[in-house]
């Protein structure tokens, strides 16, 4: 299972774009990159997943360079409600019987 490294915490202000980078130097050919968001007192929820280049949905964008050794989650114009912990995970698809390790994530604090 590819290990990931991400910043422990980040601060931002409302309306700014936030980019959280995750390092996964040992990513394997069949590994996909997935980001989860966790609000206090709730379980994590899926935000976005990608394999290479760029993926965008209504919540975020995910940028993955050609070597796939890192990825960047981009949150456009954050609001106070984006204050949460963000986890970057790397895991093989399709069917994968490995254990899924979440780690400590990046704690994003958005200020007014």
Residue 17 or 30 having the CB closest to another protein: 30
CB 28 to another protein: min, Å? 11
Q: How far is the CB of 15 from another protein (least distance, A)?
A: 27
18 - beta bridge partners?
75
- CB of residue 64 to another protein, shortest distance in Å: 15
Q: Which residues bind another protein (CB under 8 A)?
A: 1, 31-32, 34, 36, 41-46, 49, 85, 87, 91-105
Query: How many other CB atoms sit within 10 Å of the CB of residue 43?
Result: 7
Nearer to another protein, 16 or 61 (CB): 61
| 82 beta partners | none
DSSP string, 44-78: -EEEEEESSEEEE-SS-EEEE-TT-SEEEEEESS-
Q: How many C-beta neighbours within 10 Å does residue 106 have?
A: 21
Rank residues 8 and 66 by Cβ distance to another protein and give the closer one.
Answer: 8
């Amino acid at each position: 299972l590819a290990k990931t490294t991400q910043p422990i915490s980040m601060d931002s202000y409302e309306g700014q774009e936030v980019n959280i980078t995750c390092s996964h130097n040992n990513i394997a050919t069949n590994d996909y990159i997935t980001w989860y968001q966790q609000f206090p007192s709730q379980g994590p929820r899926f935000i976005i997943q990608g394999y290479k280049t760029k993926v965008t949905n209504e919540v975020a964008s995910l940028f993955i360079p050609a070597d796939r050794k890192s990825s960047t989650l981009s949150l456009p114009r954050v609001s106070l409600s984006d204050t949460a912990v963000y986890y970057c995970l790397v895991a093989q698809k399709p069917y994968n019987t490995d254990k899924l390790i979440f780690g400590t994530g990046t704690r994003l604090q958005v200020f007014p």
